[in-house]
Amino acid sequence: MSAPERTETDSMGTMRVPAAALYGAQTARAVANFPISGRRFPRSFIRALGLIKKHAAHANSALGALPPELAEAISQAAQEVADGQLDDHFVVDVFQTGSGTSTNMNANEVIAHRANALLAAARAEPRVHPNDHVNCGQSSNDVMPSALHLAAFEGIERRLIPALKTLADALAAKAVAWDAVLKIGRTHLQDATPIRLGQVFGGYAHQVRHGVARLQKTEPSLGELALGGTAVGTGLNTHPEFARRVIAGLARDTGLALREAGDHFEAQGSRDACVEASGALKTVAVSLIKIANDIRWLGSGPRLGLGELKLPATQPGSSIMPGKVNPVMCEMVIQVGAQVIGHDATITFGGAMGNFELNAMLPVIAHNLLESVDLLANATRVFTERCVIGLEADAAHCARGVEQSLAMATALAPAIGYDRAARIAKLAAETGRTVREVAEEHAGLKPAQLKALLDPRAQTGPTSHSDSTPAS
């Protein structure tokens, strides 16, 4: 038996809609037109859209554009949208009209139907119209970019940056704890001069903090909202005070630094702020790939790899090799980073396709940008909790590697010259002895001088660690 349906009407005629659906004819048309991916706008975007509709109703009521009772019903329904109570009724595919009009109308219809139900329950006349009332003073062309900026700003500030700060603190804690652990440095994948494991992790912590700073620099651009521009940036059919009032309400509701766009034609014709934010997200992804890749290599083994780190065992690593444990958390981070880099390519292309007064690539930009935020926030949190915090250093193994390294000859060069130091390193390699053992015979240095030169700790610079302060 087919599910019960009802008939809805829009400017193009009638459409059959599931009887239980809160949306109407325009949403049903979009569902029929775009059976593309099965992907919907993410929760963060729907939340932002609900908040915009809520504060638009408040502003329109205060400005005399909406009767108070209708505005109150719209506001309550829009808050339910923001809270996720009506997510099942947002059914339009991400790959749709380039302005996102279908999803804006999906929101308008859902909010109108729910508002009318609230009015009927209060024994008031149900007469909320999706365009005339819920969309009053707005256009998809200014609402959808505003929702995207709001969702991206909130996701970066509330989820991603806190996760990155926690990771930076965890890395910095390892830097302090391992300041006395000497290991061999590596350049070109070859042995280099000694380094402290604490210095390595201090570098990672600083890399992550640079990423936080880069993300924070994008927030002023994301804080500019296109509301008030309506169709092409001129503000046709909206009150001059509408955008200011809506944005002030959004700022109070979210605690974010939001403001009306300085130029509405730029705000609707381009998506440069999203391209900028995506670039910062890509840089964070690249940093996390480097850190995760280093950690999995440093933990390779357990017997025939580098083995300088011991990674937490989180799950069996093989369906055929008993006892094998793999660096799965590192691999997860690297895969997330690769996906974010791919998203950035799509966002960059989308940003370049702003034609005249509208960028008609907003849905795919929104999908990729917000997914990048969510992926990085989740991956960073899990990586910190399930890998970084539980890392252990094999200090004895690290020390043995330092003593065996031919790069120890570097410290002899100032005393005996580069060529003689090179010959000592070569002889050590040929005989399987350490640089120290060969130098005792061929360097012509007093034991005390040789001991001082080959002190690996002295080769690593100052003893205090510079990156031990927790992130604010």
State the first-to-last Cα distance of the chain, in angstroms, to the nearest integer: 60
What amino acid is encoded at 341 in this protein? I
Q: Could you tell me if 159 and 266 lie in one domain?
A: yes
Q: Which of 136, 169, 185 is at the close of a domain?
A: 136
We report the CATH number of the domain holding residue 110 as 1.10.275.10
Q: Could you tell me if 324 and 206 lie in one domain?
A: yes
- Report yes or no on 5 lying in a domain: no
Q: Could you tell me if 314 and 176 lie in one domain?
A: yes
- Give the whole-angstrom CA distance, residue 28 versus residue 35: 11
Residue 94 is predicted with a pLDDT of: 98
Q: Could you tell me if 440 and 292 lie in one domain?
A: no
pLDDT at 328 over 70: yes
DSSP letter for 1, please: -
- Report yes or no on 306 lying in a domain: yes
Q: How confident is the model at residue 232 (pLDDT cuts 50, 70, 90)?
A: very high
Q: How confident is the model at residue 462 (pLDDT cuts 50, 70, 90)?
A: confident
Mean pLDDT of the chain: 96
- Give the whole-angstrom CA distance, residue 364 versus residue 381: 26
DSSP letter for 2, please: P
Q: How many structural domains compose the chain? A: 3
Q: Could you tell me if 219 and 333 lie in one domain?
A: yes
- Report yes or no on 465 lying in a domain: no
Q: Which of 372, 395, 418 is at the close of a domain?
A: 395
Q: Could you tell me if 128 and 165 lie in one domain?
A: no
188 is catalytic: yes
Q: How confident is the model at residue 468 (pLDDT cuts 50, 70, 90)?
A: very low
Instruction: For 167-236, give the DSSP string.
Output: HHHHHHHHHHHTTT-EEEEEETTEEEEEEEHHHHHHHHHHHHHHHHHHHHHHHHHHTEE-TT-TTTSS-T
The CB density around residue 35, as the number of other CB atoms within 10 Å, is 9
**Percentage of the chain exceeding pLDDT 70:** 98
Give the DSSP H or E segment for 17.
strand 13-18
- Report yes or no on 245 lying in a domain: yes
pLDDT at 453 over 80: yes
Q: Rounded mean pLDDT of 371-376?
A: 98
- Give the whole-angstrom CA distance, residue 218 versus residue 461: 36
- Output the six-digit token pair for 431: 């005989």
- Give the residue, 301 or 126, on which the prediction is more confident: 301
What pLDDT digit, counting tens, does each position of 395-405 carry?
A: 999 999 999 99
Select which of 11, 188, 464, 472 is catalytic: 188
pLDDT at 471 over 50: no
Q: Could you tell me if 349 and 444 lie in one domain?
A: no
Q: For residue 444, what are the domain limits?
A: 405-460
Contact status, residue 467 vs residue 198, Cβ threshold 8 Å: no
Select which of 11, 58, 300, 318 is catalytic: 318
Closest among 350, 376, 372 to 363, alpha carbons compared? 350
What pLDDT digit, counting tens, does each position of 195-212 carry?
A: 999 999 999 999 999 999
What pLDDT digit, counting tens, does each position of 292-319 carry?
A: 999 999 999 999 999 999 999 999 999 9
pLDDT at 448 over 50: yes
Closest among 135, 99, 143 to 261, alpha carbons compared? 143
Per DSSP, what are the bridge partners of residue 393?
309
- Report yes or no on 240 lying in a domain: yes
Q: Could you tell me if 271 and 379 lie in one domain?
A: yes
Query: Hunting for tokens 């369906």 — which residue is that?
Result: 319
pLDDT at 4 over 60: yes
pTM equals 0.95
pLDDT at 344 over 90: yes
Output the CA–CA distances (angstroms, integers) from residue 9 to 24, 101, 211, in the order listed.
8, 17, 50
Q: Rounded mean pLDDT of 240-253?
A: 98
The separation between CA 457 and the C-alpha centre of its own chain, rounded to angstroms, equals: 38
Q: Rounded mean pLDDT of 136-157?
A: 98
The CB density around residue 146, as the number of other CB atoms within 10 Å, is 30
Q: Could you tell me if 102 and 83 lie in one domain?
A: yes
Residue 126 is predicted with a pLDDT of: 86
- Report yes or no on 72 lying in a domain: yes
pLDDT at 470 over 70: no
What pLDDT digit, counting tens, does each position of 77-90 carry?
A: 999 999 999 999 99
Q: Could you tell me if 119 and 152 lie in one domain?
A: no
pLDDT at 289 over 90: yes
Q: How confident is the model at residue 465 (pLDDT cuts 50, 70, 90)?
A: very low
- Report yes or no on 12 lying in a domain: no
Q: Rounded mean pLDDT of 145-165?
A: 98
Q: Which of 102, 119, 136 is at the close of a domain?
A: 136
Instruction: For 70-92, give the DSSP string.
Output: HHHHHHHHHHHHHTTTTGGG---
- Report yes or no on 161 lying in a domain: yes
We report the CATH number of the domain holding residue 429 as 1.10.40.30
What pLDDT digit, counting tens, does each position of 161-190 carry?
A: 999 999 999 999 999 999 999 999 999 999
Q: Could you tell me if 249 and 304 lie in one domain?
A: yes
Q: Could you tell me if 62 and 150 lie in one domain?
A: no
pLDDT at 39 over 60: yes
We report the CATH number of the domain holding residue 160 as 1.20.200.10
